[in-house]
């Protein structure tokens, strides 16, 4: 992974220099982007540099390290407290600090703290990617359908239903066009799973509820706006009727 951008906040210059020396010597994955001698300077520096990690002293003139958190609505950086006193440990973890190191700094404990930060950053990046993919899927408006030797881009709102045909899928549009794609129905069920409009009503059928023209409970089938009639199977009937009833209330 890339180097972890870091700032050091401590009112003692010797302490800042010592930590810088240790990080440069033993923690090659750390990139120090700034130093601050008090909380106010640290707040400005964090807003400017947007570091991934902040080494934060607690007892400093005017404001202590815990007051730094009051300047941010959301903490987008990891914090490792470094102090000469052990009485603040509980409060440090209350503000979700990664670690709490006592001066003089133990090299092995420092390395372990950095490993914790690395893991948190990797997990956060992974979560962000998953959240982005999820959000994109919620907003999905068009899909690319492998058709013959090319791809056809289709607006999902134009899809009336999708029929399974062995290893293929027949994608039927409301205007009467049909595209036979070399993907199974389960593939389209997956990519459209976050669209409230699409629902499976049969082992071989998935429909766009926006294109349902009528539903016969007696005959257990639906009619779509493209004049296709599709059976509602017993295993999907309850789920479909619950959705159908919610749409019509």
96, 168: one domain: no
Specify whether the CB–CB gap between 185 and 169 falls below 8 A.
yes
pLDDT for the residue 43: 97
Q: Which two tokens stand for residue 111?
A: 């390395």
Specify whether the CB–CB gap between 75 and 93 falls below 8 A.
no
Total domains in the chain come to 2
173, 131: one domain: no
58, 130: one domain: yes
Q: How do the pLDDT tens digits run along the chain, 249 residues long?
A: 689 999 999 999 999 999 999 999 999 999 999 999 999 999 999 999 999 999 999 999 999 999 999 999 889 999 999 988 777 776 766 677 889 999 999 999 999 999 999 998 887 776 665 555 455 555 567 788 877 767 888 888 899 999 999 889 999 999 999 999 888 999 888 888 767 788 899 999 999 988 988 888 888 889 998 889 999 998 888 888 877 666 554
97, 35: one domain: yes
Beta bridge partners of 206: 162, 200
Domain boundary among 137, 172, 203: 137
Range of the domain at 18: 4-137
57, 128: one domain: yes
pLDDT for the residue 247: 55
146, 43: one domain: no
- CATH code of the domain containing 203: 2.40.50.1020
- Name the burial class of residue 234, with classes exposed (0-12), middle (13-18) and buried (19+) by CB atoms within 10 angstroms of its CB: exposed
pLDDT for the residue 104: 92
46, 128: one domain: yes
Look at residues 173, 229, 178, 183 and name the one whose alpha carbon lies nearest to residue 202. 229
pLDDT for the residue 178: 92
pLDDT for the residue 131: 58
Domain boundary among 93, 121, 137: 137
> How many Å apart are CA 209 and CA 70, to the nearest integer?
49
106, 229: one domain: no
Q: Measured between alpha carbons, how far is residue 193 from residues 35, 109, 124, 206, 243 in Å?
A: 48, 46, 25, 11, 15
Q: Measured between alpha carbons, how far is residue 56 from residues 1, 6, 17, 212 in Å?
A: 23, 11, 14, 61
111, 161: one domain: no
Domain boundary among 99, 118, 137: 137
120, 160: one domain: no
φ and ψ at residue 179, rounded to 5 degrees: -120, 125
126, 149: one domain: no
> How many Å apart are CA 118 and CA 64, to the nearest integer?
26
13, 131: one domain: yes
Tell me if the pTM is above 0.85: no
- CATH code of the domain containing 52: 3.40.50.2300
pLDDT for the residue 243: 72
């Amino acid at each position: 992974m890339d180097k972890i951008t870091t700032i050091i906040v401590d009112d003692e210059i010797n302490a800042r220099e010592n930590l810088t020396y240790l990080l440069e010597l033993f923690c090659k994955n750390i990139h120090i982007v700034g130093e601050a001698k008090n909380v106010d300077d640290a707040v400005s520096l964090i807003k400017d540099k947007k570091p991934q990690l902040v080494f934060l002293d607690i007892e400093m003139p005017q404001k202590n390290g815990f007051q730094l958190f009051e300047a941010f609505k959301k903490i987008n950086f990891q914090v490792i407290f470094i102090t000469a006193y052990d009485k603040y440990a509980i409060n440090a973890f209350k503000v979700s600090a990664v670690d709490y190191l006592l001066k003089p700094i133990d090299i092995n404990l420092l390395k372990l703290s950095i490993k914790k930060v690395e893991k948190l950053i990797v997990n956060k990046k992974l979560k962000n990617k998953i959240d982005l993919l999820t959000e994109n899927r919620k907003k999905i408006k068009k899909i690319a359908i492998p058709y013959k030797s090319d791809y056809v881009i289709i607006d999902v709102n134009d899809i009336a239903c999708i029929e399974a045909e062995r290893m293929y899928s027949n994608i039927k549009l409301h205007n009467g066009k049909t595209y036979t794609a070399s993907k199974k129905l389960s593939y389209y069920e997956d990519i459209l799973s976050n669209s409230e409009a699409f629902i499976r009503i049969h082992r071989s059928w998935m429909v766009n509820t926006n294109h349902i023209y009528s539903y016969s409970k007696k005959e257990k089938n639906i009619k779509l706006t493209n004049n296709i009639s599709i059976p509602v199977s017993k295993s999907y009937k309850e789920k479909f009727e619950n959705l159908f009833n919610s749409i019509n209330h």
